[in-house]
């Protein structure tokens, strides 16, 4: 049964406009008003969804027509619409940036875009910018716009004066410390590191309420969609130990749900605090911030020995990005301090001054095409030769994938539901068959 639910894509003309915090504050504002708010994130992102889950009180999933697939996007939205009072999707980068862009996702979902624009240092030109966003793609609906970081009520009135016909200034948000969450080199700080996040979200919600942003957006029709196919029980009875703490936290909720749907038993542990692995048949070291905790990881020799013994027994390990870094013999942090880590991979991982990899990638094998992304500021200097390379969706330059003694390690982050059979093969320690024809070999 189709549902009519207020829903918008919160976006902007570029990154840095404040859309993440506006999305979180709107979710908290309507949650505090007694509404059930479901929030999604366009594209690959681990940190924003953590904050959005705290803000809304409900799970946050990724929507990306290329990475997650169009069918899953439609199903996720239809599932949320069954009992949601409001659906918010936080866009990525600028409204028309990327392929597929936030605009592409909004059109696919049949919902309007709601641009958030940093109006600092801007007056009537605000209207020209809005006009450009409205006219760039006639198939995209834009009814409202939000001005962020205004200097005064008069500033807000000036912005409203030259808006194009048919577009309303939904609200003008003043500069306020409540609208800021500390960031670091990969994005927002994690909720666990922000002891006052709930209070900050409540304060931010109040700022939006005073700016007149407590009105629900226009309701749109969201078509009913049959459930996506349930995966086979390819991991029935397989116990997977998953690192999860301040150093290893980049985990898609959809990934763990897929593992459970395939029959796996998930056991979480902390490489920072625990002394040994839980009983397990396979190990997953996800991405995160090992470079911020190099000393603690190095000093936890009991855990390091437990992981080395696990690897020495030939049990399967998946190490993604930060997990890859921790598996190196050494890790050089941003201060050039070198830490001795797990030593499963010869060589040194070292932080760099700028991004070393960013973009959507896929890993093509005979067991499936695993889609995902890469986003890292470190390099790995190793004597190992890659078993394969990921394929960058746009441009050139894939990420090396190392496969040795049941260890699969790469800077590539995979979205597990895109290739369940491949994921099951990794956690069962089965040999991976990489595509080798000219169209599927990437370096």
- The number of beta carbons lying within 10 Å of the beta carbon of residue 206 is 16
| Pair 408, 434: CB distance under 8 Å | no
73 is catalytic: no
The kind and range of the H/E element at 422 are helix 420-427
Unique residue bearing structure tokens 């990154």: 15
CA-nearest of 29, 43, 53, 45 to 95 is: 43
CA-nearest of 5, 92, 51 to 204 is: 51
DSSP 140: S
Q: Give the largest Cα separation in the chain, rounded.
A: 70
Alpha helices in 269-342 (DSSP H): 294-299, 301-312, 322-327
DSSP 358: E
Phi, psi values for residue 127, rounded to 5°: -65, -35
The kind and range of the H/E element at 425 are helix 420-427
b/e string for 315-341 if b means 16 or more Cβ within 10 A?
A: bbbbbbbbbbbbbbbbbbbbeeeebeb
Q: Catalytic residue numbers?
A: 321
């Amino acid at each position: 049964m189709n549902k009519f639910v207020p829903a918008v894509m919160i976006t902007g003309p570029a990154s840095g406009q404040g859309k993440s915090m506006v999305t979180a504050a709107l979710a908290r504002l309507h949650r505090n008003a007694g509404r059930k708010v479901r929030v999604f994130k366009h594209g690959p992102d681990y940190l924003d969804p953590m904050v959005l889950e705290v803000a809304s009180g409900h799970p946050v999933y990724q929507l990306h027509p290329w990475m997650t697939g169009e069918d899953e996007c439609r199903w996720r939205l239809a599932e949320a619409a069954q009992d949601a009072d409001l659906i918010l999707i936080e866009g990525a980068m600028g409204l028309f940036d990327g392929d597929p862009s936030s605009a592409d996702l909004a059109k696919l979902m049949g919902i309007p875009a709601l641009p958030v624009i940093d109006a600092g240092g801007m007056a009537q030109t605000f209207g020209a910018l809005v006009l450009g966003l409205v006219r760039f793609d006639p198939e995209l609906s834009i009814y409202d716009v939000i001005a962020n970081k205004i200097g005064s009520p008069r500033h807000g009135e000036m912005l409203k004066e030259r808006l194009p016909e048919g577009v309303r200034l939904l609200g003008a948000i003043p500069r306020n410390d409540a609208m800021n969450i500390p960031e670091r080199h990969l994005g927002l700080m994690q909720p666990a590191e922000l002891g006052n996040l709930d209070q900050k979200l409540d304060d931010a919600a109040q700022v939006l309420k005073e700016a007149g942003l407590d009105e629900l957006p226009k309701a749109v029709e969201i078509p009913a969609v049959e459930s996506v196919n349930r995966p086979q029980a390819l991991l029935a009875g397989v116990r997977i130990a998953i690192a999860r703490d301040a150093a290893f936290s980049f985990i898609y909720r959809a990934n763990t749900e897929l593992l459970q749907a395939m029959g796996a038993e998930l056991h979480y542990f902390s490489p920072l605090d625990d002394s040994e692995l839980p009983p397990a048949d396979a190990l997953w070291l996800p991405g995160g911030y090992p470079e911020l905790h190099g000393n603690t990881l190095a000093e936890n020799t009991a855990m390091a020995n437990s992981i080395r013994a696990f690897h020495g027994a030939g049990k399967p390990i998946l190490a993604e990005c930060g997990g890859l870094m921790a598996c190196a013999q050494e890790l050089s942090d941003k201060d050039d301090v070198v830490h001795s880590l797990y030593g499963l991979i010869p060589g040194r991982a070292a932080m760099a001054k700028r991004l070393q990899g960013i973009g959507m990638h896929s890993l093509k094998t005979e067991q499936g095409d695993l889609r995902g992304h890469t986003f890292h500021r470190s390099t790995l200097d190793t004597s190992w030769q890659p078993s394969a390379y990921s394929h960058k969706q746009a441009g050139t330059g894939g990420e090396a994938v190392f496969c040795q003694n049941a260890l699969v390690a790469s800077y590539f982050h995979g979205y597990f539901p895109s290739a369940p059979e491949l994921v099951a093969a990794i956690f069962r320690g089965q040999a991976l068959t990489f595509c080798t024809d000219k169209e599927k070999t990437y370096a």
